[in-house]
Amino acid sequence: MARGISLLSLLATLLVVGWLLTAQNGQSPTQSETVQAVQQAQQTASALTFQQAQTQLEQSHGINGTYAGASVAGFGVTLVRADAASYCLQTGSGTAVSHLAGPGGTAASGPC
């Protein structure tokens, strides 16, 4: 009797797992949706990185009165151009390059 119940519960478990796998395969995202989600995540990460670097640049500007010579080491961005009143930060490589012209700018695709 116990052996029959064990086999029945094993069969029920296998049916549930099979159903879950079938249901999951029917709702998988398309390749374009996946690419779009990855691009959105990269843009969000770049925006956060730029925001952190901007904070560092503003601190340096407050102390020195210029953006020139400021360091953004450790933030994953490159300070491409900096003078007394403005700067341009850049991150990424290849076709995934984005930049931020500041102060007060927003992240945009492409190099500085």
When the pLDDT of each residue in the chain is averaged and rounded to a whole number, the result is 81
**What pLDDT score does 43 carry?**
80
Domain carrying residue 72? 48-112
Q: Name the token pair of 18.
A: 């099979």
**Does a structural domain hold residue 26?**
no
Is the residue at 83 inside a domain? yes
Phi-psi region of 30 (alpha: psi -120 to 50; beta: other; left: phi over 0): beta
Residue 65 in any domain: the answer is yes
Instruction: Supply the DSSP string of 85-112, one letter for each residue.
Output: S-EEEEE--GGG-EEEEESS---EES--
pLDDT in tens, 31-81: 888 888 888 887 888 888 899 999 999 999 999 999 999 999 888 899 999
pTM: 0.64
| 21 in a structural domain | no
Per-residue model confidence (pLDDT) at position 56: 93
Q: Does any domain span residue 111?
A: yes
Is residue 41 assigned to a domain? no
**Residue 82, in any domain of the structure:** yes
Number of structural domains in the chain? 1
Domain-located, residue 4: no
